Amino acid sequence: MEKLVYQLWKKDDDILENFKESLLSNLTKDLDGLVTELQINIADADVEPANGLAQSNYPPAPNAVIFLKVQSYFLAHTLEDHLHKVAKKIHGFVVSESVILDDVKKSPLGLRSEGFSQVVFLEKPETMCTFDWFEHWTKYHTKIAIETQSNFIYVQNSVVRPLQKSSPAFIAIIEECFPYEAMSDPEVFYDAENNPELLAKNGKLMMSSCEKFIDFKKIEVIPTSRYRMV
């Protein structure tokens, strides 16, 4: 079993709502029988309140991120043919998945998940070796991320390899789901409602850890609506 992650950019003459409908309806039908799991994340109008959280060092940011599982990447050319039908450009990655938090009740099959999903693409700083990077991320940062934030889904995807030569050298892809209010309210985001002292403490802990292993000049942060389709 392999998990694949694709960044998708809509075609220039396509409007976002039509692109969204193509992914949720046409693409889901096209991939029926080819994938064992399919999740579609779209940077749509529903997450506009989270625009302040978005970061893009490789503009324009993708309009959607697709997560899927297949028996083997050997069939990926068929998958990518379907992706190219609806997208102007794609970047794909084979990843290894680690599910830290997963509140399934808040992400029902076939419907929009509660809140919003923040998808983050990370590169390793040049001054840090790969072993040290993963040691910090998995043995130190993970605990901080779930204790200082209101995330109810937290999935870490370590990049095994890119699927296009033009793809950025991402080392990891993170998905975190937060309550709707966290899009615009830092107190909700950092699980510190009506508690300014806890907000300051959690924000400081989180940023201090991030600064130890994230190159902020090579990061993509994309707020999205999350749909589990298969």
Residues above pLDDT 90, as percent of the chain: 93
pLDDT band with cut points at 50, 70 and 90 for residue 45: very high
End-to-end CA distance of the chain: 15
pTM listed for this prediction: 0.95
Peptide bond into 60 cis (omega under 30): yes
- pLDDT > 80? residue 76: no
- State residue 78's pLDDT score: 87
What digits encode the pLDDT tens for the residues 197-220?
999 999 999 999 999 999 999 999
Q: Please give the C-alpha separations between residue 65 and each of 52, 109, 176, 223, in angstroms, as whole numbers.
A: 19, 17, 13, 10
- State residue 77's pLDDT score: 77
- pLDDT > 80? residue 75: no
Rounded to the nearest integer, the mean pLDDT of the chain is 96
What digits encode the pLDDT tens for the residues 89-103?
999 999 999 999 999
- pLDDT > 90? residue 74: no
